[in-house]
Amino acid sequence: MARVYNFSAGPSMLPESVLKRAAAEMLDYNGTGESVMEMSHRSKEYQAIFDRTEALLREVMEIPDNYKVLFLQGGASSQFAMVPLNLYRNSKKADYVLTGQWATKAYKEGARYGEANVVASSKDKTFTYIPDLDPATFTKDADYFHICMNNTIYGTRFTKLPETGDVPLVADISSCILSEPIDVSKFGVLYAGAQKNMAPAGMTAVIIREDLIGHAMDITPTMFNYQTHADNGSMFNTPPCYTIYVAGLVLEWLKEEFGDLEHMKAYNEKKAGILYDFLDNSKLFKGTVVKKDRSLMNVPFVTGDEEMDAKFVSEAKAAGFINLKGHRTVGGMRASIYNAMPIEGVEKLVDFMADFEKKNG
């Protein structure tokens, strides 16, 4: 069996050693005679798996003690609503920066329950840059300030955080969690769907400062109240058990292979650098994003000719480089190179692109 290089934006590739370990433990987890898939979430065996994943995430991300870690269902998209429902606790105002489709979806949910303000947007240029932010334009009494840290579809990322003072900063880190260090103490809430850089689909990690829990609006459904999950160790109802287990394996892999997030970042910079260097020197392909705002995780590029793009995507697929088609709203190509993508995958992709350019340039 030949494994391909999978450049999917999510669900995305997982480290091969993690898949092998999950396979080896599939029928009999650690001498229990059962699969993790079959375990009661109330069992002592499963609680140990859950606790280990949380402890590893806390260790790797250096999460301070005054933050709760929740493993929820409903995807990052549910957080678009959970954030306003729980954080609109005083002025019922919030600031949003529109840097792409996910940020815009988050804003729309924020606007349903309070006064959501757009402080900046990069929609004028198809979200190909991160707008400059002027703190003088921020809402002084906002209940929170929301950003999408890495814009999966457009391939941009924040490299400098907005100066929000006492206003809690909230960030969607679905496509950059674990890719580089994040100073958690600068945020009120961080959230991420697992299926980009952490595990298979099904789980959303929420990292929330404790003082922001317990102020949900009256209309908040029980399942959308952070307090419900904080008070019950994410087990008010059945958590996404198997995904939490695989997230633990991925965190162990990250520690063994890279040690910490500084080293993970260095590896990701090297990987992304290979692809961006090629794009900057290519006569056929070009990157679509302003250089200073380039993502380490998602790299969109185009030839400028739709037929050529389609030819490239199809020939790349035949050569074992799959899921390179760009998002339907952007066109062209996108290579998502999350933590699990080995450097050889990017080197081989660049070789393939150079060869394609020779034949079609």
Ligand X SMILES: *Cc1c(COP(=O)(O)O)cnc(C)c1O
- Can you say how many angstroms the Cα of residue 293 is from the centroid of all Cα atoms in its chain? 16
Pick from 173, 98, 96, 169: nearest CA to 129: 98
| E strands, 73-155, in order | 93-98, 115-121, 144-148, 150-151
Q: How far is the CB of 115 from ligand X (least distance, A)?
A: 23
190 interacts with ligand X by CB under 6 A: no
Per-residue contact string for residues 18-37; x = within reach of ligand X by CB under 6 A: --------------------
* Listed ranges 19-27, 72-80, 128-136, 285-293: which one lies at the site for ligand X (CB under 6 A): 72-80
227 interacts with ligand X by CB under 6 A: no
Candidate residues 5, 10, 287, 289; the one interacting with ligand X per rule CB under 6 A:
10
Rounded to 5°, angle at Cα 152 from 66 and 169: 30
**Residue number with the smallest Cβ distance to ligand X:** 75
Tell me the β-bridge partners of 209. Answer: 67
Residue 192 CA to residue 96 CA, distance in Å, equals: 17
Candidate residues 196, 271, 325, 334; the one interacting with ligand X per rule CB under 6 A:
196
Q: How far is the CB of 147 from ligand X (least distance, A)?
A: 10
Report residue 58: phi and psi, to 5°: -60, -40
* Annotation says 172 is catalytic: yes
* Annotation says 196 is catalytic: yes
Omega before 11 within 30 of 0, i.e. cis = yes
Q: How far is the CB of 108 from ligand X (least distance, A)?
A: 13
Residue 313 CA to residue 333 CA, distance in Å, equals: 7
* Listed ranges 44-52, 110-118, 167-175, 179-187: which one lies at the site for ligand X (CB under 6 A): 167-175
122 interacts with ligand X by CB under 6 A: no
Contact 154, 287 (CB under 8 A): no
Candidate residues 87, 148, 246, 284; the one interacting with ligand X per rule CB under 6 A:
148
Candidate residues 53, 139, 164, 174; the one interacting with ligand X per rule CB under 6 A:
174
Q: Which H, E and C letters describe 137-164, residue by residue?
A: HCCCCCCEEEEECEECCCCEECCCCCCC
Cβ proximity to ligand X, 81 vs 324, nearer residue: 81
Candidate residues 77, 91, 117, 121; the one interacting with ligand X per rule CB under 6 A:
77
Rounded to 5°, angle at Cα 296 from 304 and 270: 105
* Annotation says 291 is catalytic: no
Q: Is 258 left (phi over 0), alpha (psi -120 to 50) or beta?
A: alpha
- Pick the catalytic residue from 68, 93, 143, 172: 172
Cβ proximity to ligand X, 164 vs 174, nearer residue: 174
Q: How far is the CB of 100 from ligand X (least distance, A)?
A: 8
102 interacts with ligand X by CB under 6 A: yes
Q: How far is the CB of 11 from ligand X (least distance, A)?
A: 9
- Pick the catalytic residue from 196, 253, 293, 325: 196
The count of residues interacting with ligand X (CB under 6 A) is: 12
Pairing of strands 204-209, 189-193: antiparallel
Give first-to-last CA distance, the chain, whole Å: 33
Q: Would you mind telling me the total number of residues written for the chain in this entry?
A: 361
Q: How far is the CB of 121 from ligand X (least distance, A)?
A: 16
Q: How far is the CB of 88 from ligand X (least distance, A)?
A: 20
Kindly report the number of other CB atoms within 10 A of residue 352's CB atom: 18
Contact 88, 94 (CB under 8 A): yes
Active site residues: 102, 172, 196
Interface contacts to ligand X, rule CB under 6 A: 10, 75-77, 102, 148, 152, 172, 174-175, 193, 196
